Amino acid sequence: VIGRAVTGNVLAVDVGGTKLAVGLVSPDGEIVTSATVPTSPTGLGRDEELWTTLVRLIDEVCSAEQPAAVGIGCGGPMRWPEGEVSPVNLLAWQSFPLRARIQQRFDRIPVRLINDGIAMAIGEHWRGAGAGSGAFLGIVVSTGVGGGLLLDGKVVTGRSGHAGHIGHLVVDPQGPLCGCGGRGCLEAIARGPALVQWAIDNGWNAPPAADGKALLAAAECGDPVAAAAFERAGAALGVAIASAVHLVELDTVAVGGGLAGAGEHLLGPARRAFIEHARMRFAADCVIVPAALGADAGLIGAAALVARGDRYWTTQGAD
């Protein structure tokens, strides 16, 4: 237990399926220095190679300064709070003891790990679009759809560290299959690759290796299928947000992640669907805003796990 806030810079680590980011973050949440590399290798059985990639990055960032503590955000699922991770978008690590490995390298300082969606939400609550919110949901719309929840200003982790998984709220029971094995989850409709595939299936004349960026460019040029893909994903997002708001009376929802770069192409339909489905005053008052920290939210949130003492950390209720 840390209890009080630490005084020195902390090491923040953000592990995702496409990139690894590492940074030193000041006690007030400024990124002092950071470095990013593509996540590689990612394949099954390459666990030690991927670990070596991460260690190189950590050594680079910590070459001039030893951190006061370490905070880590990583894709789930995971064993939490132990920090043994099996990220669904990173086959190289299956039950990989990430927290323990990093603890071995940084003897005698606190090392904490949390789901990356929760880390993003904490970052936005500490320094971004959720500042001051009493009931906040941060959503990441990217290769997947993740999120994290703070109620009464406190992080909601759930008993196994997986609370806030808004990507698997069901928005269409007859909808497409989801990577989780279910059907009609928000993620199955609104994740970047799903938008691109839907657009292609509906006649979008896609460039080679088209991604969300290419789809956005097409939508901005007035391509009706590309625009409809964002409309459909945004509407699903708005339905999911409306459901979440009714359940826990959110006051603020911030939407970030790569696809949030689409701005009003995504948020416009999300707000319209939200208004359609959030009819009671207490729900309708919730505001949906763009996330403020961009790609830094994960690092800043990971840092907050240790830089802010126990402000953004609890293991109460954990298995």
Estimate to the nearest angstrom the gap between the alpha carbon of 303 and the chain centroid: 14
Check binding of 165 to Zn ion (CB under 5 A): no
Q: Measured from the CB of residue 164, what is the shortest distance to Zn ion in angstroms?
A: 14
Question: Minimum distance from CB of 77 to Zn ion (Å)?
Answer: 12
H-helix or E-strand containing 287?
strand 287-290
- Measured at the CA of 138, the angle between CA 222 and CA 146, to 5 degrees, comes to 75
User: Can residue 236 be called a binding residue for Zn ion (CB under 5 A)?
Assistant: no
Q: Choose, by CB under 5 A, the member of 2, 13, 178, 194 that binds Zn ion.
A: 178
Give the integer Cα–Cα distance in Å for 235 and 238.
5
Task: Out of 180, 206, 214, 289, point to the residue binding Zn ion (CB under 5 A).
Answer: 180
Q: Between the CA atoms of 261, 265, 267 and 268, what dihedral angle is there, to the nearest 10 degrees?
A: 160
Report the distance separating Cα 58 and Cα 103, nearest Å.
13
Tokens of 159: 């008993």
Question: According to the binding rule CB under 5 A, does residue 6 interact with Zn ion?
Answer: no
Applying CB under 5 A, does 278 fall inside the site for Zn ion?
A: no
Stretch that binds Zn ion, among 29-37, 181-189, 252-260, 278-286 (CB under 5 A): 181-189
Among 163, 185, 259, 303, binds Zn ion (CB under 5 A): 185
* Residue in 158, 182, 268, 294 binding Zn ion, rule: CB under 5 A: 182
Q: Shortest distance, CB of residue 168 to Zn ion, whole angstroms?
A: 4
Counting residues that bind Zn ion (by CB under 5 A) gives 5
In this chain, which stretch among 31-39, 136-144, 172-180, 244-252 interacts with Zn ion, using CB under 5 A?
A: 172-180
Choose the binding region for Zn ion from 63-71, 160-168, 245-253, 304-312 (rule: CB under 5 A): 160-168
> How far out from the chain centre does Cα 199 lie?
24
Tokens at residue 187, please?
């993620």
Distance in Å from the first CA to the final CA of the chain: 17
Stretch that binds Zn ion, among 82-90, 93-101, 167-175, 269-277 (CB under 5 A): 167-175
Q: To the nearest whole angstrom, how small is the minimum distance from the Cβ of residue 278 to Zn ion?
A: 22
Site for Zn ion contains 21 (CB under 5 A): no
Question: Minimum CB separation from Zn ion for residue 182, in Å?
Answer: 4
| Residue 268 backbone class (left: φ over 0; alpha: ψ -120 to 50; beta: rest) | alpha
Helix (H, G, I), strand (E, B) or coil at 193: helix
Closest approach of Cβ 146 to Zn ion, in Å? 11
Which span sits near Zn ion by CB under 5 A: 105-113, 175-183, 221-229, 289-297? 175-183
d(CA 306, CA 101): 17
Measured from the CB atom, the residue of 180 and 289 that comes closer to Zn ion is: 180
Strands (E), 31-152: 31-38, 70-74, 78-79, 84-85, 111-115, 135-141, 145-151
Candidates 109, 77, 70; CA nearest to 96 is 77
Give yes or no for residue 219 binding Zn ion (CB under 5 A).
no
Structure tokens at 296: 């830094």
Closer by beta carbon to Zn ion, 175 or else 290? 175
Chain residues that interact with Zn ion, rule: CB under 5 A:
168, 178, 180, 182, 185
